[in-house]
Amino acid sequence: MSDTVKYLLDEKDMPTHWYNIMADLPEPMAPPLHPGTGQPIGPDDLAPLFPMELIKQEMSTEREIEIPEEVRDIFRQWRPTPLYRARRLEKALDTPAKIYYKYEGVSPAGSHKPNTAIPQAYYNKAEGITKLATETGAGQWGSSLAFAGALFGMEIDVYMVKVSFGQKPYRKALMESYGARCVASPSNETNAGRAILADHPDSNGSLGIAISEAVEIAATRDDTKYALGSVLNHVLMHQTIVGQECMKQMDMAGDYPDVIVGCTGGGSNFGGIAFPYLGEKLRGGKDTKFIAVEPAACPTLTRGQFAYDFGDTGHLTPLVKMHTLGSTFIPPGFHSGGLRYHGMAPQVSHVQDLGLIESKAYHQTTCFEAGVKFARAEGILPAPEANHAVRGAIDEALRCKEEGKSETILFNLCGHGHFDMQAYMDYFGGNLQDLDYDEGELAMALAGLPSVAAE
């Protein structure tokens, strides 16, 4: 029997529409609120930050929204991405489970993030915007938007969380190779950054702070808008191209997932692979189990509160109802910079609150152990973020072994780890600690959640 089993779609089978989970939710989501009035926001409230077409997508309840031909044209460079059956990993685990993984690391930026970077740049460009400001953690999002900026001839300013900026100078170099500007956050370029630095000159930064900086820049300049790499409805929707391709590829394999695993930071990677299947389940389809895997050091879904909160530390964003650790919560500096966010996509939070998905938290060393096992079996070295999904999938496969079940497990290998070798060096050198957040700090951050009359 062949070891390598790859399912490749023809270009003509690349999805032409994004899937919008809003159309199939059994209960509507709580609306985003204006922090001043406590009232639901409208499109105009978001207009300083986003182009109108993206605002419409953010608020849409239509099941399908067409992917513009110009966007699909760019996607064709690396999409459809391959789906693999991990036979060599199955053998190494000696499991009766069937493990499939979707591989998004084949994009020029090395991760799934261009799936939303390209359309975001496209819609902004179409509305005359020449510059985008954004934040980035590990740098996967920043370099993806930089890539999109190069293709559309737009200026890109990236505020990169300072701890990652220091850990990953090569991500900055990649952004610069694409012509973008990358600044350590908190920076002196914004009021939000200066306020943090005044109180904490040595601040390591956080995604919440970097978002404040980028939002401030966008809100105060006419030619500039803001782009977010996860969390928002339209971003999760853009990632559903991943899950939709999986559906066709699993069909080719003659199989259907019993379990789907994705890692969660802001939620877009998980939503991208899970939501097309969840929608099918909600419309009466098969009963798939969904597992969101997050870092134990930033356990938004497993330890956070489902409440209205700000998306950023500087409190410039609307209030959204989500699983949150509190917008002042600063997670410890573990290696999956893309997962160090205090909040969670409202859509992912909502479906967890409805009991439609499960979540699970892991410390980082066990994730790296899983990633190395995966690399030695399958040849692809995952990004630290993706190692969380690998750990989750392997544990499901080991459960199947224990229970003697031949379940079908699908996970999203959202990026390669070639920019994360310092983390692997630390792991091999025994210098990787299982960091924990401070319980007192978490309690304080949760106590500081805004009180919202509308709740």
Q: How far is the CB of 110 from a second copy (least distance, A)?
A: 7
One-letter amino acid at 219 equals A
Only one of the segments 60-68, 174-182, 201-209, 335-343 lies at the binding site for a second copy (rule: CB under 8 A); that segment is: 174-182
Contact 342, 206 (CB under 8 A): yes
For residue 354, state whether it binds a second copy (rule: CB under 8 A).
no
Out of 4, 61, 406, 433, point to the residue binding a second copy (CB under 8 A): 4
Only one of the segments 192-200, 268-276, 370-378, 390-398 lies at the binding site for a second copy (rule: CB under 8 A); that segment is: 370-378
- Residue 171, helix vs strand vs coil: helix
CB of 421 or CB of 444, closer to a second copy: 421
Q: How far is the CB of 372 from a second copy (least distance, A)?
A: 6
CA 64/CA 57 separation, integer angstroms? 10
Angle between helices 364-378 and 421-428 (to 10 degrees): 100
Only one of the segments 28-36, 103-111, 265-273, 353-361 lies at the binding site for a second copy (rule: CB under 8 A); that segment is: 103-111
Which one, of 94, 115, 63, 86, lies nearest residue 398 by Cα?
94
CB of 173 or CB of 354, closer to a second copy: 173
CB of 109 or CB of 250, closer to a second copy: 109
For residue 11, state whether it binds a second copy (rule: CB under 8 A).
yes
Only one of the segments 169-177, 197-205, 247-255, 293-301 lies at the binding site for a second copy (rule: CB under 8 A); that segment is: 169-177
CB of 21 or CB of 89, closer to a second copy: 89
CA 384/CA 208 separation, integer angstroms? 20
Q: How far is the CB of 153 from a second copy (least distance, A)?
A: 9
For residue 91, state whether it binds a second copy (rule: CB under 8 A).
no
Contact 101, 393 (CB under 8 A): yes
Binders of a second copy in range 107-126 (CB under 8 A): 108-110
CA 207/CA 193 separation, integer angstroms? 12
CB of 42 or CB of 169, closer to a second copy: 169
Listing DSSP states for 54-86 in one string gives HHHHHH---SEEEPPHHHHHHHTTTPSPPEEE-
Cα 148 to the center of its chain, rounded Å: 17
One-letter amino acid at 90 equals E
Q: Which residues make beta-bridge pairs with 322?
A: 307
Q: How far is the CB of 238 from a second copy (least distance, A)?
A: 17
Out of 178, 270, 277, 310, point to the residue binding a second copy (CB under 8 A): 178
Q: Which residue bears the tokens 């002196």?
A: 188
Q: How far is the CB of 105 from a second copy (least distance, A)?
A: 9
Which one, of 170, 124, 169, lies nearest residue 151 by Cα?
124
Out of 18, 19, 50, 84, point to the residue binding a second copy (CB under 8 A): 84
CB atoms within 10 A of CB 227: 31
Size of the site for a second copy (CB under 8 A): 44
Q: How far is the CB of 377 from a second copy (least distance, A)?
A: 8
Binders of a second copy in range 392-431 (CB under 8 A): 416, 418-419, 421-422, 424-425, 428
For residue 318, state whether it binds a second copy (rule: CB under 8 A).
no
CB of 36 or CB of 254, closer to a second copy: 254
Cα 316 to the center of its chain, rounded Å: 21
CB of 88 or CB of 303, closer to a second copy: 88
Burial 281-316 (b: 16+ CB within 10 A, else e): bbeeeeebebbbbbbbbbbbbbbbebbbbbbbbbbb
Q: How far is the CB of 4 from a second copy (least distance, A)?
A: 5
Out of 379, 404, 430, 440, point to the residue binding a second copy (CB under 8 A): 379
Only one of the segments 5-13, 219-227, 354-362, 394-402 lies at the binding site for a second copy (rule: CB under 8 A); that segment is: 5-13
Please, which residues have CB within 8 angstroms of residue 157's CB and are 6 or more apart in sequence? 131, 132, 133, 134, 180, 181, 183, 214, 217, 224
**Total H helices, total E strands in the chain:** 18, 15
CB of 197 or CB of 372, closer to a second copy: 372
List of residues contacting a second copy (CB under 8 A):
2-4, 6, 8, 11, 73-77, 84, 88, 106, 108-110, 147, 150-151, 169-170, 173-174, 176-179, 372, 375-381, 416, 418-419, 421-422, 424-425, 428
